[in-house]
Amino acid sequence: MNTKAQILVIDDDEVVGRSFDRVLSGKGYEVNIALSGEEALETMNDSDFDVVFTDIRMPGIDGLEVAERIKARCPWTPVVVITGYGTEENEARASVLGVSGFVRKPLVPEIIESVTLKALNENNVILHAEERSVDSEASEEVVINPVERSKARLFFRNVGLFFAAPFVALGYIIALPFVGFYMFAKLAYEAYKKSHPSV
């Protein structure tokens, strides 16, 4: 069984994927690369990832929509946004989606490593809670097979997703009007400033 942390990098620029692979593979991570949002979502049907990095601007499904779909499907999976276009609108929308952070281009190895560690620590809090729950259910001292532990972990993740999904959807419903109001107010203010340059 592979015990390396599984990292998924989604970016249509192959150079970005290779940068993550070069930095993180040398630190003991296993890096998987998807060149589009569609490819990434298909990959996630068959694999479980500890951290997902996604670019914002890509052909087809953009990075924020990818993040939204991943968080709806796997709310426990940390998603970090890679961006060369860090606008306030993007950051506000990403915050509503619950992303773990941003990595801004150009990419620096130290930043890639530190953001990955931060996201993994966030994920480990959830995993340790799940493992304690699994261990507490064993009434006898039993050595748990790693494969069985992995299956149990996936089972509890799926149960958690089942119960969390309505709350995630409710969070979107509550938060999106505020994001929309913020964007509308900002546009109105900018239009006012253009029409009243002396202000």
Residues in the chain, pLDDT under 50: 1, 126-131, 133-147
Residue pair 77/71 in contact by the 8 Å Cβ criterion: yes
Residues with Cβ within 8 Å of 78's Cβ and at least 6 positions away in sequence, in order, are: 50, 51, 52, 100, 119, 120, 122, 123
Q: Could you give the 3-state DSSP secondary structure of residue 51?
A: strand
Instruction: Give the CA distances from residue 52 to residues 5, 7, 8, 61, 114, in Å, rounded to whole numbers and listed in that order.
Output: 11, 6, 5, 15, 14
Of the candidate CATH numbers 1.10.3720.10, 2.30.29.30, 3.40.50.300, 3.40.50.2300, the domain formed by 6-195 belongs to 3.40.50.2300
CB–CB of 63/19 below 8 Å? no
Bridge-based pairing state of the strands 30-34 and 6-10 = parallel
Predicted confidence at residue 51, as pLDDT, reads 93
What's the pLDDT at 157? 64
| pLDDT at site 136 | 47
pLDDT at 21: 94
The phi and psi torsions of 89 (rounded to 5 degrees) equal -60, -45
Please choose, from the candidates 43, 82, 86, the residue with its C-alpha nearest in 3D space to the C-alpha of residue 63.
82
Three-state DSSP state, 186: helix
pLDDT, position 140:
39
Whole-number Å distance between alpha carbons of 135 and 144: 9
Per-residue pLDDT at 127: 47
